Structure 1
Amino acid sequence: MIMRRWCRWLLVMSMVLLAMSGVARANSCAPAATQGTGAPADYKDYCWLDFTGYSDSTAQKTSGQTFSFTLPDFSTISMNVQVSATASATLPTTLLKANAVPTYNGAAFGNDAFIGIPGLPVLYMAKGVTNETVTVNVTNIVVSPPPGGAGVSSYAIIVADGESTNNNPESLSFTNNSPSASPWSLLATIPNTGVPTLAGVGTTTVTETGNSGGNEGSYVFGAFNNPTSFRAQLFTNGGLQGIVIGVRYASINVTSVISGARLNSKDQFAYAVKTQGGSTIASGATTGTGLTGFAPAEVPTIAASYPFNLFESMATGSTSTIGNYAVTLTCTNATAGSSTVLPTNYLGHSYTIPSLQYGDSVSCVFTNAAPSYSPITGTVYSDANHNSNLDAGETGTGVANLYVKLATATNGVCATTATAVGTVSSVDGTYSIPGVAAGNYCLILNADNVLTNVTPALPSGWVGTENSSGIIYFNAGNYSSPPQNFGLYHGATLTGTVFNDNGIGSGTANDGKQNGGEAGLANNSVTALAGTTLVDSEPTNGSGFYQLWIPFADSGTSLVIQPTTPSGWLATGGSAGNTGGTYARPKVTAAPVAGSSYTGVNFGLVAPNNLTPNGAQETQPGSSVYYAEIYTAASTGNVLFSITGTPNPSVPGWTQTLYKDAACSGTIAASDPVISAAVPVVAGQTLCLIMKQTTPAGVTNGASTIANISAAMTYTNASPALSATATVNDTTTIGQGSTLVLHKTVTDITTSTGPAASVSASPGDQLNYIITATNNGTAPLRSVVINDSTPAFTSFVSAACPSSSPPGITGCAVTTKPVVGATGALKWTLTGTLNAGDSEIVSYIVGIQN
């Protein structure tokens, strides 16, 4: 029975609220629709509980009837209602019933004030209850937070006389029996022909007593500080009595107004109060053509401790977006003395109020203004220094009949017809297009003012710098947009790439075309010369790209375009691009014409091949010494090795043989072949070599020979043919039992690989070379000098002498070295003597170039 009544209560309550709000919501309290006379100004903050589903038979039981009400902010209030009366044979079975307001046409509550409360908010005496006191005990009042709420900071219980306490001795009393609740306060007096006698205001029991027959007024009382229970006693002497119960925390409402006019007649605004989780508590919308006076979205009671959101959006069917309007929010509080912080002229359509205080009565207004649009402005300027920026002193081009057209843009595509056009001043280059609404647009630089011509066109003899295509894609906001400029250069441009034509990454080496993984060369200057006069010089960027600017004065002049070749590098080939000129190693000859942008003027270079180190040894007549050499190829080709010996004095018997050190061990293995023919190599490949020097028997002390090893590289694919030669000198001297032997190893510091005669390394790695000079003879060596140079594809980092030297060596100094980051020769000079059997160790570090 209880379950069926509870379900019936829910159904009736839902139907009542649906009829009231037009929205299917299960709120179980509601404010009055109309204030009337005697209700306070904040009458809508009083949320009167709907007792639809009240069962008097259940309430009369000792356990009473338990109610749970879901309030507008989704918090809940639960309570137990237990009803009793003094024993009397005249009592009917039913003591109270749930009743609508007004209970009758003479009742002040519902007729004169608090008019239009929906549902059944009055617990009303049943007919036949006379000369009896009916007691209503409301206990276990508990307020629970909505989802996401942490607790209720403060609430009040509101009670009122729902009928008329008129005939003496009719009476109605309310007793606040909560442990810590405050006394009753008088919140409203509703006048009629008279009012009952009132006693106990400011105490825990307030009583009103009838004076005479007729229509009497009514009172509304409040108990604060979170009451958990109270008692009502209704005494009648032939008439009827009733009570109304409500709850109050704080209240808020929000609406929208339009300032000025709508951007589009279809535009309407939806406004709402929402929970932090996004659930809508109350909502409303603007309608029609009016600008103000729209019904607010009202929340009659909202828990004082919970954060919630005020939100506005465009209503369905609107043309504009909320971003097309300047939206501000201002809230005011009708409750004097509140410290709640509220927004004033807050710019935005969403705002979170952290919490309200008990008693706050807040009204908020979203103001939506259609902004007055600023014009789109800019300058078409002569960019003399071609830096794509309008600098101080730069002004218009002086060209007449230039126009900037405005067209809408959709997904980056300009409309085929412009909507407006601005004339460019031939004096200062400025233009202006007034009143541009927010949206996506194209600005097109053109030589006519015909709206259907949206093809960009630069003036004759000029090329673009800033927004070089002649089109600007941009988004105009609600307010002013930054200047939209076009930069023009009076002359021509010429672009290309300087690259390492070494065939890396499956490219074709030495063909003058950048392909495969061939990298651009950074920081190489490219120059344009008219005879001996420099026209322009520009550096390449990190990818080898450059751009030359040829002024109008040199239009049509024959120019020589050429990169500055780093020391030892060779030009392999190149291209004149679309200049109409020619490439002849190492330069391009062309005659650029002003107003043209030339591309594809490219230059291929290769680094020098490297053969190291120079060696020097002292030996005995009729013996042999060995020199370890390393050849590093910088590109693809065939290298032919040859040796020329120069003896001093010129005596026969000095012989030299060159071996390929396959294991790079520094010693000749039985399987190591003599090199007698050209060897094919590719970029980065190293060949380990050993040159065997044999001395003639009987040669005198001090005799010597210099063996010049030559590595002649012929570059494949080069047209015309291209070759380069690297050399190294090994000096052998006949001494008095002293022999100097040099041994060189390398370690990849980055990968901790080595030491070895050679290692595999990657760009960016650092290599540590160690040279050991050993006196293998029987006599000391004096004035020892050790020479080397940085290998190919590397740049110098540092060089060092040892921290300690063998006895006899009094000093070591690095007397020749490149600057850091460069390439070149290295020399260590030893002072003192290198005794027989002793060794001196020197070292240097290089980095592999990227």
Structure 2
Amino acid sequence: MIHEQDWDRVRGMTRGSFRHVAALFLALLMLVFGGGHAQAASCFYATSQGSTGPTNWNSYCWLDFSGYNDTAARSGAGQAMSYTLPDGTVMTFTLKISGAGINGATSPSWSGAAIGNTAFIGIGGRPILYQTAAGTTTASITNIVMTPPAGVSQITSYMFVAADGESSNEGESLSFQTNGGNWVALDTAGPTSGSLYPTTSGLGTQTFTVTGVGGTVGANIVGSSTATSLNTTIVGGGLQGVMFAVRFASIRLNLQLTGARAAAADQFTFAINATNGGSTLASGTSTGTGNGPFTAASLTTASALPLTLAQTMAAGSVNPLTDYRSSLTCTNTTSSSTPLPSGVITTSFSFGALQFGDLVTCTFTNTVFPHMQLTKALATSGRRFNTDQFVMNINQGSTTIATTTTTGTGATVTNGTTPQVMGAAGTAYAFTEVGSGTTSLTQYTSAMTCTNAFTGSSTALPTTVGGTVTPQMGDVISCTITNTRRATNATLTLVKTSTVLSDPVNGGTNPKMIPGAIVQYSILVSNTGPTAVDSNSVLLIDSMPVQMRVGTAATPTFTQGTPTSGLTFNATNDIRYSNAASAPTTYAGCTYTPTSAYDAAVKFICINPKGTMAGSTGTPPNFTISFRTQMQ
């Protein structure tokens, strides 16, 4: 029976549309030139969703029947078909046709068809098996085999899709019988006008039937998982058509950095791997110094492959991946029960298998753990002495976590940068320096500047030598301490030490600093400058600790250092005492004479060795004055 719509199609043909005539002519050519070899083909995606298409329209790849050979398809062996799918999977099957004439046709099949007009616009090739004459056509697809791409051991699941390629009107029908999973409703394509659809039955079974109704209708799209054969019965009152597709899932993986890289050369490779066998199916690599996102690794797959999302450091990187905290978050633009990670701390995640129709986007977000580095610089005036060297330290409390000792002479600094060290966010670190060996920092003025490669960081940076910083995630901090040599000078430094000689309990055997203990109190005096001290001008006025007493038992001793100070000391004339409340300002102001071995009245000791103290030539001249005290 020819319906009103079909008469419209006939009338349209008389107005100059030769689509059906061309299809018949192509069928005649195939009768002449047809063969039994497998027809290598591919599938095509639509180029746009259309006004009624589903959101996951680009997860369907429609099989192209441009290579349909009617003679081969109607032979006893049928036509061998082969499709190389976008993910590299090769799908093969045998197509057998009987009944009314049929051929491959472009989409849309006519102006009233839903697919091609309102949904799935721009499908390439000839995706429709379209009748060339009214009647009943049987299309049998058997021996469906999916050969996986290289590196994939096997395909455990795939989705075979069937759809109305024309419009099922009154007296027309489609019947799809599968040996795979029961038919499930996937999507629909809306009618070109109105909201009418043909009636359907058989969802949840292996036979799905579409029964036509009068009027302009939409199309149903159904799927069966892992089918190996499919029998389709096409009943056309005028003309009728069917379409088949393989439904794909897709996943895109990208990388985003927050904060800075630990080193500018650090780059990251992110990959979608087959969990079984570990083959890389898609990958991408960060580039440049930006934070991304970068060119994504994209995988579109027809099969339900277990996937692993992973990242590694790219060749040429300086730091290991463990220097970064990596989190993974995925989203899906379609409604699906596929589990998605959100903020999972990982560098390798077993994602599992995508569900057909998934359009998943995943992002690794890498944030560097705090990194710090300290560098020594000298002003153009260079070193005070060519032997001067500097020990640069990054300290966490009393623990040094990075250090270096400089080499070089003059203004040249070699080995002046500590190793870059990774710290913990929220922990305080100090940047310090000390003189190496006989080097005295008193001969230099010092300044420190710091920078943070994480330009958006709110971390406060130290501005003085010895200052601390409490970094946060993403910080990469570099500090430089610059020393400028002072003008020629004589600078005296003092180092005080004490040694317990005896105590009332233990005597001289392992004595303790307890009340009554006799303690030797020593003062080391050095001239770190290159200039000699004026004659007789060295004057030490030392305040006694409140718990120490000194008196007639002081027994002062003077020990020359190496190099020698050049000074002399007379225990009778060059040491005095003061009981004043405040320190005397001259040697003459020290006028108290102790009255006991350890006199509580003594508040200050005054020492005035004689002569000119030598200047330093690299190792400071020095002397040590020692005297006995008693612990109270």
Work out whether 1:138 is the aligned partner of 2:182. no
1:340-355 equivalent positions in 2, closer than 5 A? 340=339, 342-346=340-344, 351=348, 353=350, 355=352
* Distance in 1 of aligned mates of 2:269 and 2:305: 26
Structure 1 residues 309 and 50: CA distance shift in structure 2, 3 A: farther
TM-score (norm 2): 0.50
Work out whether 1:356 is the aligned partner of 2:353. yes
| 1:668 alignment partner in structure 2 | none
Work out whether 1:36 is the aligned partner of 2:42. no
Deviation at 1:138, TM superposition (A): 0.6
Contact 1:54–1:98 (8 Å) recurs in 2: yes
| 1:221 alignment partner in structure 2 | 222
Percent same amino acid among aligned pairs? Answer: 30
Deviation at 1:65, TM superposition (A): 1.3
* Distance in 1 of aligned mates of 2:122 and 2:342: 33
Structure 1 residues 82 and 191: CA distance shift in structure 2, 3 A: same
Q: Which has the larger radius of gyration?
A: 1
Structure 1 residues 53 and 271: CA distance shift in structure 2, 3 A: farther
* Distance in 2 of aligned mates of 1:422 and 1:255: 36
| 2:127 alignment partner in structure 1 | 121
* Distance in 2 of aligned mates of 1:322 and 1:395: 29
| 1:301 alignment partner in structure 2 | 301
Contact 1:175–1:206 (8 Å) recurs in 2: yes
* Distance in 1 of aligned mates of 2:104 and 2:310: 36
Structure 1 residues 75 and 377: CA distance shift in structure 2, 3 A: same
| 1:401 alignment partner in structure 2 | 445
Work out whether 1:184 is the aligned partner of 2:183. yes
| 2:242 alignment partner in structure 1 | 243
| 2:87 alignment partner in structure 1 | 73
TM-score (norm 1): 0.39
Deviation at 1:309, TM superposition (A): 4.4
* Distance in 2 of aligned mates of 1:141 and 1:593: 94
3-state SS of 2:353 partner: coil
| 1:84 alignment partner in structure 2 | 98
* Distance in 2 of aligned mates of 1:263 and 1:438: 8
Deviation at 1:205, TM superposition (A): 2.4
| 2:563 alignment partner in structure 1 | 556
Unaligned runs of 5+ in 1: 14-27, 87-94, 408-420, 450-458, 463-488, 493-551, 559-590, 598-850
Structure 1 residues 378 and 241: CA distance shift in structure 2, 3 A: same
* Distance in 1 of aligned mates of 2:123 and 2:285: 20
3-state SS of 1:112 partner: coil
1:789-831 Cα offsets, whole Å, 9 max, x none, are xxxxxxxxxxxxxxxxxxxxxxxxxxxxxxxxxxxxxxxxxxx
Deviation at 1:160, TM superposition (A): 0.1
* Distance in 1 of aligned mates of 2:244 and 2:229: 12
Deviation at 1:220, TM superposition (A): 0.8
Aligned amino acid, residue 352 of structure 2: S
| 1:534 alignment partner in structure 2 | none
Deviation at 1:35, TM superposition (A): 3.1
Aligned amino acid, residue 97 of structure 1: N
Aligned amino acid, residue 445 of structure 2: N
| 2:198 alignment partner in structure 1 | 196
Contact 2:89–2:146 (8 Å) recurs in 1: yes
Work out whether 1:149 is the aligned partner of 2:121. no
1:533-558 Cα offsets, whole Å, 9 max, x none, are xxxxxxxxxxxxxxxxxxx9823149
3-state SS of 1:115 partner: coil
| 1:622 alignment partner in structure 2 | none
* Distance in 2 of aligned mates of 1:153 and 1:248: 14
Structure 1 residues 116 and 327: CA distance shift in structure 2, 3 A: farther
1:262-411 equivalent positions in 2, closer than 5 A? 273=272, 280-281=281-282, 298-309=298-309, 328-333=327-332, 338=337, 340=339, 342-346=340-344, 351=348, 353=350, 355-356=352-353, 358-359=355-356, 361=358, 363-366=360-363, 376=373, 399=442, 401-403=445-447
Contact 1:378–1:430 (8 Å) recurs in 2: no
- Out of 88, 102, 107, the position equivalent to 1:101 is 107
Structure 1 residues 431 and 195: CA distance shift in structure 2, 3 A: closer
1:260-302 Cα offsets, whole Å, 9 max, x none, are 899999x999976455666555879999x9977x996654434
1:294-314 Cα offsets, whole Å, 9 max, x none, are 996654434223435466999
- By relative contact order (CA 8 Å, sep 6+), the higher-ranking structure is 2
Deviation at 1:141, TM superposition (A): 1.3
Deviation at 1:198, TM superposition (A): 2.3
Structure 1 residues 252 and 190: CA distance shift in structure 2, 3 A: same
Structure 1 residues 256 and 441: CA distance shift in structure 2, 3 A: closer
* Distance in 1 of aligned mates of 2:312 and 2:432: 46
* Distance in 2 of aligned mates of 1:256 and 1:361: 20
Deviation at 1:107, TM superposition (A): 0.9
Unaligned runs of 5+ in 2: 1-32, 377-389, 402-430, 435-440, 452-460, 495-523, 528-558, 566-613, 621-632
Structure 1 residues 360 and 38: CA distance shift in structure 2, 3 A: closer
1:85-107 Cα offsets, whole Å, 9 max, x none, are 16xxxxxxxx3322332222221
* Distance in 2 of aligned mates of 1:273 and 1:3: 41
| 1:171 alignment partner in structure 2 | 173
| 1:51 alignment partner in structure 2 | 65
3-state SS of 1:78 partner: strand
What is the total number of aligned residue pairs between the two structures? 407
Contact 2:338–2:355 (8 Å) recurs in 1: no
Deviation at 1:81, TM superposition (A): 0.9
Structure 1 residues 286 and 345: CA distance shift in structure 2, 3 A: farther
3-state SS of 2:141 partner: strand
* Distance in 2 of aligned mates of 1:336 and 1:185: 15
| 1:208 alignment partner in structure 2 | 210
Deviation at 1:134, TM superposition (A): 0.9
Structure 1 residues 230 and 389: CA distance shift in structure 2, 3 A: closer
Contact 2:268–2:311 (8 Å) recurs in 1: no
Structure 1 residues 103 and 255: CA distance shift in structure 2, 3 A: farther
Structure 1 residues 423 and 433: CA distance shift in structure 2, 3 A: farther
Aligned amino acid, residue 80 of structure 1: T
1:463-612 equivalent positions in 2, closer than 5 A? 554-557=561-564, 595-596=618-619
| 1:230 alignment partner in structure 2 | 230
Aligned amino acid, residue 110 of structure 2: Y
3-state SS of 1:34 partner: coil
| 2:162 alignment partner in structure 1 | 159
3-state SS of 1:216 partner: coil
* Distance in 2 of aligned mates of 1:490 and 1:170: 112
1:323-375 Cα offsets, whole Å, 9 max, x none, are 999764312356778475x5433567x64546315447252332657879777
1:505-555 Cα offsets, whole Å, 9 max, x none, are xxxxxxxxxxxxxxxxxxxxxxxxxxxxxxxxxxxxxxxxxxxxxxx9823
Structure 1 residues 431 and 99: CA distance shift in structure 2, 3 A: same
Deviation at 1:151, TM superposition (A): 2.7
* Distance in 2 of aligned mates of 1:323 and 1:260: 16
Structure 1 residues 435 and 322: CA distance shift in structure 2, 3 A: same
Contact 2:271–2:280 (8 Å) recurs in 1: no
Q: Which has the higher strand share?
A: 1
CA RMSD of aligned residues (A): 5.7
Q: 267-276 or 35-44, which moves further after superposition? A: 267-276
* Distance in 2 of aligned mates of 1:98 and 1:60: 14
Aligned amino acid, residue 446 of structure 1: N
Structure 1 residues 201 and 431: CA distance shift in structure 2, 3 A: closer
Aligned amino acid, residue 248 of structure 1: R
